[in-house]
Amino acid sequence: MTNRRLGDATLAFGTPPVLIGHAAVAGKREGEGPLGSSFDHISADSYWGEATWEKAESTMQRTAFALAADKAGIAPRTIDFLFAGDLLNQCIGSTFGSRDSDIPFFGLFGACSTMGEALCLAAMSIAGGFAQHAAAVTSSHFCSAERQFRFPLEYGGQRTPTSQWTVSGAGASILAATGDGPAITHVTPGKIVDAGITDANNMGAAMAPAAYDTIRQHFADTGRTPDDYDLIVTGDLGSLGHAVVVDFFKKDGVTMRTYQDCGLMIFDRQKQQVDAGGSGCGCAATVLNGYLLNAMRAGKWNRILFCPTGALMSVTSSQQGESIPGICHAVAISTIG
């Protein structure tokens, strides 16, 4: 079967690339949350044994990648392409995480949508016949993100109720042309959508229009409905963004019966005091490569639509009065085709 383009923006793979291995590593707070048992490794040390939080983030990526390759049962060196990205300036979490990998490397920036972007490109590289194995890796770290995007941690700044808590964690997926595991049947790469939101403490509202746009596009292109999926899950919209997406679809007469958000799943918002929920590249990445893929392998769900969302802003763009454009990539994962 050959690859097909469906509608405006969806790719249907003739031979769906298989997620033969996946791993998620996370920090203490994430380990104490509802999905704690799904992580392959939890470090109580926010530095992961390194001198800085930025280096810790690289170490998380390296650890997740090594564990995923090990679980896939392949030598890392046999991986043809590595797709990786993160939130840090110039994506140093990924660069230094992959520095010694000796694998052709594609650096990505999709903010918190990066796991989706990496899966799209890794799946395309395999389904296009360019690779036997490809890896998708991404991470975020509360401490490195907080001091880069907001305030020094020592400042002890107040948090707004709409703010989200950046997940400390990394996720890695190993894709293969053939093998055992859930497979990526379709991808719908997203467009940049800017609804004019300017509050950098309300990322959920900034990203929700992009999630709506891409998921709606996916349904239009494939002819599928929410009921075709056992689970539709956005990346890190949090409570506010999740409600916005539900509302947008409701206005179209569409009920998102099985719709959840990784940012709402990874923490117990009340007990863990994370305001609107989790966020960061590591949020969708750890939830997918831990809880979601484990559950698919265990037979809990047959078909999920994984839709990580990103806010494409920087400190500079916000200081210059720019709004916050969002993006969302949808990845259909199935155990049954």
Nearer to a second copy by C-beta: 196 or 253? Answer: 196
Alpha-carbon distance 283 to 24, whole Å?
10
Cα dihedral 311→314→315→320 (10° resolution): -100
Minimum CB–partner distance for residue 102 and a second copy (Å): 6
For a second copy, the closer CB: 170 or 312: 312
DSSP H/E element including 5: strand 4-6
- What CA–CA distance (Å, rounded) separates 323 from 317? 8
Structure-block tokens of residue 317: 């763009």
Question: What minimum distance in Å lies between the beta carbon of 31 and a second copy?
Answer: 26
Name the site residues for a second copy (rule: CB under 8 A).
2-3, 5, 9, 11, 51-52, 54-55, 80-81, 85, 87-92, 95-96, 98-111, 117, 120-121, 124-125, 127-131, 148, 188-192, 194, 312-317, 320, 322, 325, 327
For residue 17 the two structure tokens come to 């690339």
Least distance between a second copy and beta carbon 91 (Å): 5
Cα–Cα nearest to 99, from 72, 62, 64: 62
As measured in angstroms, the least distance from the Cβ of 110 to a second copy is: 5
CA distance 327 to 189: 9
Q: How far is CA 184 from the centre of its chain?
A: 15
Q: How far is the CB of 95 from a second copy (least distance, A)?
A: 4
Nearest residue (CB) to a second copy, 148 versus 302 = 148
Q: Which is nearer to a second copy, 109 or 228 (CB)?
A: 109
Q: Which is nearer to a second copy, 35 or 135 (CB)?
A: 135
